[in-house]
Structure 1
Amino acid sequence: MKGHDVLISVKAPGKLYIAGEYAVVEAGFPAIIVALDQFVTVSIEAADQIGSIVSAQYQENSIYWRREDGEMVFDNRDNPFHYILSAIKVTEDYAKTLEKPLGVYHLTVESDLDSQDGRKYGLGSSAAVTVATIKALCKFYELPVTHDKLFKLAAIAHFSVQGNGSLGDIAASVYGGWIAYHSFDREWLKLAQKNYTFAQLLSMDWPGLDVELLTPPTNLKLMVGWTGSPASTSHLVDRVALNKAKQQRAYQDFLINSKACLKRMIKGFRDQNLAAIQAEITINRQLLNQLDQFTHAHIETPLLKKLCEIAQDFGGVAKTSGAGGGDCGIAIIDAHKHVSEVIQKWAENQITPLNFNVHHVEE
């Protein structure tokens, strides 16, 4: 463990979905996701007797804890830090497998992933805070960690809190850049956690899991517009899950078509073909709108529809990003074309252009 005077500070990026939403929650179905240069930063400093967990976002909800018989004991029962606590537990379980002594520390969280008034942009803050916490604690305890191991630790921690979703936002936060992500089988993970040791779980292959780093064409410009109404991914995913049972045939068609669309889009990245990528973005938007018709999840709100139409008017393509229902839309446009016009028109229509760039994680 590091000396008492060393402050460890690490950051993990937020993400946006480019394509493949909703289908990606099914094991083995692909999505394309991008990491952005907006971060959650977690800092850790050794403490003497009493540790703390403090977030600038939740000043009034800082929680205090001490260690008793090797376990963390909390003074505040009610806290918004479930993901941080789950990340701590998983990392300390990992530390125990390597017989590292557990310490007491002050952990501080700062986030760029919300607007100034605390409204979420939909950039996957819960995933980024999970990844950053685990990264920081691995440094604190001097635990060996690769990208693949970090993904597994964070996936276990995040899934135990949220219980649904694809964990693609974890992958984006861990690997950075543009990725093609195929989700693993979460039902398998539930069983595996009961049947394998923690060390085995970290070293084995997870069925269906695949992460491929993509390189976009040089003339591809990603634009992000925020509609200012945050959406709850968990609730939207639940709503789709409830309605898909009634419409099994339509849902299966959606999955098949989404997979085919994403396969062609991934090929567009490999071929550095902007027109091919744009064509599939348009198809993916249509597929999500078809899904909306039988699940009534209200994925594309009127303002997100407007965002898409404006991008199209200037030769770009656009769609909702992530669960939809508010939050962000993305546009993909030729970098040499009408970028400034789209920005201006969005702003005139109460859509906030977000000046984010793609973030690449160091090896």
Structure 2
Amino acid sequence: MKGHVLLITAQAPGKLYIAGEYAVVENGYPAIIVALNQFVTCSVEKSADVGSIVSRQYNENSLYWRRNGDEMVFDNRDNPFHYILSAIKITEQYARSLDRKLQVYHLRIDSELDSADGKKYGLGSSAAVTVATVKALCEFYHLPVDQNKLFKLAAIAHFEVQGNGSLGDIAASVYGGWIAYHSFDRQWLAEQRQQLDLPKLLELQWPGLNIEQLTAPSNLQLLIGWTGSPASTSTLVDKVALVKAREQREYQTFLNESRKCIQRMIDGFHQANINIVQTEIRYNRELLKKLSNFSGVTIEPPTLTKMCEIAEQFGGAAKTSGAGGGDCGIVIIDRKTDLTYMFEQWTKNKIERLRLTVHMIKQSVTE
């Protein structure tokens, strides 16, 4: 290709939920989430005629489907290409609204969020791929975005594919570090999308949305254990949603207790007090066990129970992360603890330590 070739690259980190899972799906309920130093990278390069979307990881992508009468219905919520396409669609809508001429380009995705042999760790790859794609295209089209607008664009793109979930993983991928996230009213968003253009929607205050960056106590260490078996968040969230109507009282109690628990945990971060954070991690684990019991959804499988029990022996507070059912567990432990024997116990019980650290993001504005 002749002339100067401009290659734009953007990254978005993966995430793990620390506490507040399931409750955060309801409007205004809080969760604590952390961004991790594994990334999805999106690069965009202008093309003369034919564009492409290439991903090293997703060549052999699986499709899942179920039967609805005689129809085959595909569940595309775990298929990363749908998130990439949605991110392109939304960002280009925004570009058009600002009178940008749409271009042809090669878009390449590279992800560290799944293992080399394609195993899913549960680090929120669909959110990170959405954020990285939106971020790269905003730069490509010179669109004015700050973190707030980047979150909203990526949230719209993700929600239009998934249709459920809190979008807290989008917030973690945009803001980085430790965040307290209160979910917004998704029904309101769906209605406003029909009525407002994107620039107006991005300027509005979204009902219930609140994202606060937290500073972890200096003696707090986050450990991550992986079970080796993936879980589908959207499917588990669907299953719990079915129980809401049937077990209204128990579900409302769970929501209220979760809100209070996360608020106390946020206070623990504000006071730089690891003991408060650990106490509430343990309480949140108990709340999720109760939810599991009355919903019949397996949130904490035996491997993660074992991981938690081992961590507790060494003074760690542990629980499942995210929707549970597999994937990862997290441990909050004092930095000074000797962990040699604990990790030996994990290995014996087929729990793999993921050597990940918290990823901070500097605030940036593209003008």
TM-score range, shorter chain: over 0.9
Residue of structure 1 in register with 2:184 after alignment: 184
Deviations 1:127-157 (A, max 9, x none): 0000000000011111111000000000000
Letter in 1 for 2:52: S
Trace 1:68-79 onto structure 2 (pairs within 5 A). none
Residue of structure 2 in register with 1:277 after alignment: 277
CA contact (8 A) 2:84 2:133 kept: yes
Trace 1:243-322 onto structure 2 (pairs within 5 A). 243-322=243-322
CA contact (8 A) 1:23 1:30 kept: yes
CA distance in 2, matches of 1:214, 1:127: 20
SS in 2 for 1:99: coil
Correspondence 1:101 to 2:101: yes
CA contact (8 A) 2:80 2:129 kept: no
CA contact (8 A) 2:80 2:126 kept: no
Deviations 1:303-329 (A, max 9, x none): 010010000011111000000000000
Q: Go from structure 1 to structure 2 and tell me whether the alpha carbon gap of 1:80 and 1:24 turns closer, same or farther (over 3 Å shift).
A: closer
Residue of structure 2 in register with 1:164 after alignment: 164
- What's the offset of the Cα at 1:47? 0.6
Correspondence 1:345 to 2:345: yes
TM-score (norm 2): 0.92
Letter in 2 for 1:228: G
CA distance in 2, matches of 1:341, 1:317: 17
CA distance in 1, matches of 2:339, 2:133: 36
Residue of structure 1 in register with 2:89 after alignment: 89
- What's the offset of the Cα at 1:167? 0.2
Residue of structure 2 in register with 1:33 after alignment: 33
- What's the offset of the Cα at 1:4? 5.3
TM-score (norm 1): 0.93
CA distance in 1, matches of 2:263, 2:356: 26
- What's the offset of the Cα at 1:60? 5.5
- What's the offset of the Cα at 1:284? 0.1
CA contact (8 A) 1:314 1:341 kept: no
Correspondence 1:225 to 2:225: yes
Deviations 1:181-207 (A, max 9, x none): 000000110111112221110110000
CA distance in 1, matches of 2:237, 2:340: 34
CA distance in 1, matches of 2:236, 2:116: 25
Deviations 1:312-358 (A, max 9, x none): 01111100000000000000100101333322211111000000000
CA distance in 1, matches of 2:92, 2:339: 47
Letter in 1 for 2:204: M
CA distance in 2, matches of 1:349, 1:89: 45
Letter in 1 for 2:181: Y
SS in 2 for 1:253: helix
CA distance in 1, matches of 2:4, 2:102: 14
SS in 1 for 2:57: helix
Residue of structure 2 in register with 1:330 after alignment: 330
Percent identity of equivalent pairs: 64
CA contact (8 A) 1:28 1:185 kept: yes
CA contact (8 A) 1:315 1:338 kept: no
Deviations 1:260-302 (A, max 9, x none): 0000000000000000000000000000000000111100000
The total of aligned residue pairs comes to 344
Calculate the aligned-residue CA RMSD, in Å: 1.1
Residue of structure 2 in register with 1:14 after alignment: 14
Q: Go from structure 1 to structure 2 and tell me whether the alpha carbon gap of 1:80 and 1:317 turns closer, same or farther (over 3 Å shift).
A: closer
SS in 2 for 1:50: coil
CA distance in 2, matches of 1:237, 1:60: 26
Deviations 1:208-262 (A, max 9, x none): 0000000000000000000011000000000000012110000000000000000
CA distance in 2, matches of 1:28, 1:182: 5
Residue of structure 2 in register with 1:75 after alignment: none
SS in 1 for 2:58: helix
CA distance in 2, matches of 1:216, 1:80: 32
CA distance in 1, matches of 2:322, 2:223: 15
In structure 2, stretches of 5+ residues that fail to align are 62-78
Residue of structure 2 in register with 1:199 after alignment: 199
Residue of structure 1 in register with 2:152 after alignment: 152
In structure 1, stretches of 5+ residues that fail to align are 62-78
